[in-house]
Each structure stands twice: as structure tokens, then as C-alpha cells.
Amino acid sequence: MKRLSLPISLALLVACLTITALPVAAQDRIEEWRGRTVLVFTPHPDDDLFGAGGTLALLARNGNKIYIIIYTNDNKGSFDLEMTSERLARIRKAEEESAMGLLGIPKENIFWMGYDDGELEYAEPKALCGRAARYIRQYRPDVVFSIDPGEWYDRWHKTDHRMAAFNTADAIRAAEFHLYYPEHLLVDGLKPWKVPLMMFYYAESEANYHVDISEVIDLKAQAVSRHVSQFEPSINKYRPDWDPQTLPKFLEGIKARATKKDGRYVESFRRATGFNSR
């Protein structure tokens, strides 16, 4: 079989997900949901926060059950020559738990797949898809949040983003058919599940849904600040906290870079329903 070039292959993969976007007026507002189950897939600890942290804070406040699935342990992103991968993984885990705790998501609801940072593309594909599909079948979410596989930035920015996006899309398809990973049903008793709604974050170019997070923007900024190791000066020479004089400027900087629409702080998504899995 003739191999397709990479750009064409990716375009075909995206096209295979036939998506019907409902008019916003016809939708119930997801940020007003109560008592639902929310599943979030993220390449690294912090992508979930940057892409959807304000929305997750609103969902948590309304009593929804939120589960975070993190593909990698983010154990490479430091310029500190004294830092080790093992230590950085522990630091990143603690930072994520602290940040999500501020949003109202307990650490017991955060699950780590444990792949090395920057190496998700080397994971065994069938096993990787099966692990994600198992989470979907186990928690049977009303909505899945995921990094957008159709966004150009995410396709080419970093392999973990690209792999997490496409693997999650593949897992959604597999989770609804019992003949994919039949051991989930036969051994673990996990029945198939068809995901009714996808919310793709990092979807700036094709966003069709905006959540007003103005009332939680300060909370989101505080949560971002818990990821100390990701920012200067700690990314260059690790320290576990902020200089008291630096933190206020950092928080204002996070708010200044946040997306605004009609004078309000928003998070932008590509809301998608009606997946044609075949």
C-alpha cells in the first residue's frame, strides 16, 4: 500500500471524525451543568489548566464529578542542570495536585499514565489506545475534554500534544464497540460507552463555544502559579515557591494574556457532538 504523506494522513484522520456542531442557542450551557461526569485528557500536567481550567472550576463548583487523565509525567522540561527526571516528575505531580485542588478537583480524581515527557509517540499504539478507552468505559462521562486534534498548533507544536489528541479520539471510537478491547468487558465488566459530547480545548482557530470565566479568572491564575517549576526563575534554577514581590506581577501577567471576548474573560472550545465512529 502506498504511504500517504504526513500532512495528508493527518488531514484524513481529522476528516474521519465527522462532527456535527449544534447551534449554541440549542444547547444547554455546559458550565451550568450539575451532577454530571466529566473526563479530561491532557498531554501534560498544566495543559488541562491552561486550556480549560476556568471551565473546570465552574463545573467543580456546581457539583460535577471531574476526573483528570494525564498522559505524561512531564519529567523533561527544566533547564536546571542539577534537576533529574525522577525529581522533576515528583515536583510536577505535586504541582498538578495543588493546582487542581484549588479548582475543586481532589488528587484522588487525577490519574497518571506515566509516560515520559516528549516520548508519547513511542508508546505501543494499541496499548495506549486501550488504556484511554478503559478510562472512558469505567467512568462513562457525559463529556470528554481533550486537546484538539484538528488544531494546527497542536499537530506540529509538540509530539505529546499530537499523540494525546489523536489517541483520545481513537479511544472514543474504540470505547463504544465491545469488540475493541473485549477484555474490558470479559475480565473487568466494563460495558461499552458512546461519548455524547466532546469539548476540544486549544481550539482557537475553529472555536464555536466560549465559556465566560470572568468570575474565576483570579482562581485560574492562582492555580497556574502552583506550577512553579514551569516558569522563570524556577525553570532555570529550581525553587519551590515564588518571590513575594514577583508573584503579583506573574498573576497579572496570566490575566493579561487570557483570551477576552466582549470585554469578558473566556475559554474557547470546539464543541462537537454526533461522532460518526465508522
For 121-178, write each residue's pLDDT tens digit.
999 999 999 999 999 999 999 999 999 988 776 666 668 999 999 999 999 999 999 9
Residues of the chain under the 70 pLDDT cut: 1-27, 153-158, 274-278
The pLDDT, as a whole number, for residue 27 is 57
Q: Per the domain annotation, does 138 fall within a domain?
A: yes
Output the CA torsion 198→200→201→206 (10° steps): -140
Helices (H) and strands (E) in the chain, counts: 9, 9
- C-beta separation of 266 from 209 below 8 A: no
Q: Per the domain annotation, does 22 fall within a domain?
A: no
Q: Per the domain annotation, does 12 fall within a domain?
A: no
Cα three-residue angle 224-136-164, rounded to 5 degrees:
50
Q: Per the domain annotation, does 184 fall within a domain?
A: yes
Q: What is the pTM of this model?
A: 0.88
If you count them, how many residues does the chain have?
A: 278
Distances (CA, A) of 106 to 97, 136, 148: 7, 19, 25
Q: Per the domain annotation, does 154 fall within a domain?
A: yes
**CA 170 – CA 190 distance, rounded (Å):** 18
E-strand stretches of the chain: 18-20, 37-42, 65-72, 110-115, 143-147, 198-201, 209-212, 260-261, 264-276
Local structure of residue 92 (DSSP, 8 states): H
Residue 163 has which C-alpha cell? 499523540
Q: Per the domain annotation, does 163 fall within a domain?
A: yes
* Side chain identity, residue 33: W
Range of the domain at 102: 29-276
Burial 132-166 (b: 16+ CB within 10 A, else e): bbbbbbbbebbbbbbbbbbbeebbeebebbbbbbb
Query: Count of domains in the chain?
Result: 1
Q: Per the domain annotation, does 123 fall within a domain?
A: yes
The pLDDT, as a whole number, for residue 15 is 41
Q: Per the domain annotation, does 6 fall within a domain?
A: no
- CA proximity to 67, closest of 125, 163, 146, 128: 146
- CATH number of the domain enclosing 253: 3.40.50.10320
Distances (CA, A) of 231 to 120, 159, 226, 249: 23, 21, 10, 13
Output the CA torsion 222→238→157→163 (10° steps): -90
